[in-house]
Chain A
């Protein structure tokens, strides 16, 4: 884009040739290189890209709030007649929160815990000296009401920890909109939220944008969210904008091979679960090294020799549409590119290598029946003093579940539904109150640790946060052989074992001498898998195996898990809230709500014909990566009640669109249907 281009009148903010470096001990990280894109008035613009592509850096650069070690090396950000990159601190402060405001990724950590919302919102309005405190409060209450906080005039005096995650994000939106900004920036606004909450927040943003005539920038790596919410899309890769355009252009007629690959990798888009998930092999390039040619060349499925030498041309289509690739113009122009959307351009998605048809065995590996787990919430003395009679909450209530060898069972539910507790109880890390847990037919519930320990070899856990659960001072080699030491297994050659395991999880040998902080998210996850596999377990309990991974890497891990299952006949219990993911790997699904399993059955059936209203809400709650399939309404409202006040009748009655009087009075029992599906609903759907 030429420097002197006068921007169109409907451009609110124009980013031109922005480059940002970070000074680090490893050298200069060229985090943004020559970024240009317009933000058009009254539109919602989405910025997508993998982790580390520079999405957040763009947002912080707009606000002048880059980290201290950042240096803007070129460019300008035109906002009206100002250049925000070269504005004074005082000017910027007048812009931040007033004309440009932000909604943050994690509402749990981005709101100060020791001040009430009233106080925080009054502080934001500090630039209005002639508005009285009473008036400011009224404005804040009104805004809280607008974003859907019930009883705003009472709740405004509460602190962030009194609000649930979804409510906090609503309050965060209210804070950002309080001053009536022209531009609202939202950095991963729903990543920290559950599926049903996410759908609600997406619609809230959409409605507010229309109502307030605001312009919104949403940063996300969730393609579904972008397709559902945005008008314009900017695709970033490794610090460059590689493609931009209107949402339909991007999702239906993507020009750049990377955009294509991203779309093809999204599990939400792939209906054929018999194939492996496609992946984009390789990693994002090291931005401290000198870069030349096309930034995507090392991973591109169409890379040509010229790609590594020459910067690709920028092809502009419309007002804001652009793509940078040699295939689109110049001597290497390929008139057949891009192929129609149903042609896969990344790794064909090999068929067949999926699991062999399982022999139906009678004896399950794991069998949980009527399991109950309670947690104490108040001590006996305090309960006496405060007159509390209900000292416990039911974290897991009457759960029955089984996993056969070679089978994958997905356990799905929102946060607080008891999924992780169930997993931990099976592993005897949490005492159960009643019920039974059988492993290979043997009762193991509340078994003393001494007797249970040998069983831990047969059942392994894959933890949710791979980097956090790996000791930072141990090398990968030490980490993956640690289980041998924990179980005091001698007589094995640890080096051989380390290599065998690294091989199994396709981790290149040189990685064995690295330390956890030197691994990417996907590699750390592999180490987690290797550790779980070390002692040849029969059952693996995987807690959110792909949380926080990019779509391109997520597929790798899921494919790896499937391969290992086929090779070793492992049984998996996959705990997750990510429906598209379990849909690809699970044979059966169990849906949990407030500690109870509300529906259980074969994955395809549960997806295609949910019988429980909650399952239906979850399935419909997944945003589709297709702007033509936007949902018009949110299927369920409200949020998960606290375990402390479990509804008397059906747990879901407070949110269920079909709830009737009976639901509020009686708890629906578990019913097994003719096809083996089980549910807990008085009025199952489609019956």
Chain B
């Protein structure tokens, strides 16, 4: 286990470094003066000079890279070009909103999708199975930004049931929750379909296994056989899917956050890219990558926890 963690953390570090390298190269591959590119055409010469110094632009590129990595390791991701505030602080302000959105989105998708898939698999070709099938295909096919726009139009603009934009009053939990509902619905919807399909497929396979027949032959209750035995095995590939899907989820928050005007990492990156605010883009992408790696790691550990064979091979 220790060996496994060491290996995984080492690999993660390598991935993060590669991401930083790519981000760096992007900045330097664009022809012209990096400082001017980074700050945009409206920047004053003083700002450019200050930026060049701050970013050690006079040093060779590899030195700059080393400095960035060293600083990043201590949590210093540089300064925002416009406000001069530390990038880390800006990201920290926003990240909570994104995590809440992704968590809720994935959460409701799991709560609905997994049982749906299970029930569909237990009674294949029943009406529930058919409806689930149609529903899955439908939701997977519709991109989340369309769902966002329609949800906004129907529930916020037309029916006025829920607030349209923003993240709610700070400190007012009820208000924040009501602001969360529509975007979470929008980004989670297609995941309900994915998960239902995935769980159905692996449940169907597992329900045909000999050990399920054994459990039945020992007279266990159907509920125990389905949830205690079959789902326990069938869930394993789904956990991996969720872990990997987390990355896609973060990218769909970009749309959701723009459409619902929610503060968050997605919107931050979008704004920073439009404003060519490079330190923010760099920092935010780095943090998002880090999050993704962390989630994949967690999903692998979860699998190891559920499956003794995996646990021991670690």
**Chain A residues engaging chain B, CB cutoff 8 angstroms:** 63, 65, 92-98, 101-102, 104, 106, 109-115, 123-124, 126-127, 159, 161, 175, 381-382, 385-386
| Interface contact B224-A112, CB-CB below 8 Å | no
* Interface segment, one of B243-251, B271-279, B305-313: B305-313
| Interface contact B218-A175, CB-CB below 8 Å | yes
Known contacts A104-B210, A112-B211, A126-B224, A65 near B218 by CB under 8 Å: no
| Interface contact A113-B220, CB-CB below 8 Å | no
Listed A/B pairs (16) with beta-carbon separation below 8 Å: A97-B218, A101-B217, A102-B214, A102-B217, A104-B213, A109-B211, A110-B211, A110-B213, A111-B211, A113-B307, A123-B220, A123-B228, A127-B219, A161-B308, A161-B309, A382-B3
Additional A-B contacts beyond A114-B232, A123-B215 (7; CB < 8 A): A96-B217, A101-B218, A102-B214, A111-B211, A111-B214, A112-B233, A385-B2
Least CB separation from A108: chain B residue: B210
| Interface contact B213-A65, CB-CB below 8 Å | yes
| Interface contact A98-B229, CB-CB below 8 Å | no
Chain A residues within 8 Å of B233, by CB: 112-114
Interchain CB contact (< 8 A) of B3 among A63, A123, A124, A386: A386
Interchain CB contact (< 8 A) of A98 among B2, B210, B219, B306: B219
Among B216, B217, B220, B224, max chain A CB count under 10 A is at: B217
| Interface contact B219-A113, CB-CB below 8 Å | no
| Interface contact B232-A123, CB-CB below 8 Å | no
Interchain CB contact (< 8 A) of B210 among A94, A101, A110, A381: A110
Interchain CB contact (< 8 A) of B218 among A92, A96, A386: A96
| Interface contact A114-B221, CB-CB below 8 Å | no
Q: Closest CB-CB distance, B251 to chain A, in whole Å? A: 33
Q: Closest CB-CB distance, A494 to chain B, in whole Å? A: 38
| Interface contact B217-A65, CB-CB below 8 Å | yes
Rounded to whole angstroms, the CA-CA distance of A47 and B170 in the bound complex is: 75
Chain B residues within 8 Å of A63, by CB: 217
Rounded to whole angstroms, the CA-CA distance of A104 and B218 in the bound complex is: 11
Rounded to whole angstroms, the CA-CA distance of A96 and B218 in the bound complex is: 5
Rounded to whole angstroms, the CA-CA distance of A161 and B307 in the bound complex is: 11
Task: Tell me, yes or no, whether B59 is within 8 Å of chain A by CB.
Answer: no
Known contacts A109-B209, A115-B232, A96 near B3 by CB under 8 Å: no
Rounded to whole angstroms, the CA-CA distance of A381 and B228 in the bound complex is: 37
| Interface contact B224-A123, CB-CB below 8 Å | yes
Rounded to whole angstroms, the CA-CA distance of A601 and B77 in the bound complex is: 76
0 or 1 for each of B297-309: is its CB under 8 Å from A? (1 = yes): 0000000001111
Rounded to whole angstroms, the CA-CA distance of A102 and B213 in the bound complex is: 11
Known contacts A112-B229, A113-B308, A115-B232, A123 near B211 by CB under 8 Å: no
Chain B residues within 8 Å of A161, by CB: 308-309
Q: What 3 A-B pairs are tightest by C-beta distance, nearest first?
A: A97-B218, A97-B219, A96-B219
Chain B residues within 8 Å of A94, by CB: 219
Least CB separation from B211: chain A residue: A112
| Interface contact A106-B210, CB-CB below 8 Å | yes
Within 8 A of A (CB), among B197-221: 209-221
Chain B residues within 8 Å of A114, by CB: 232-233, 306-309
| Interface contact B210-A65, CB-CB below 8 Å | no
Known contacts A96-B219, A110-B213, A385 near B3 by CB under 8 Å: yes
Q: Closest CB-CB distance, B273 to chain A, in whole Å? A: 41
Rounded to whole angstroms, the CA-CA distance of A537 and B229 in the bound complex is: 50
Chain B residues within 8 Å of A382, by CB: 3
Q: Closest CB-CB distance, A647 to chain B, in whole Å? A: 24
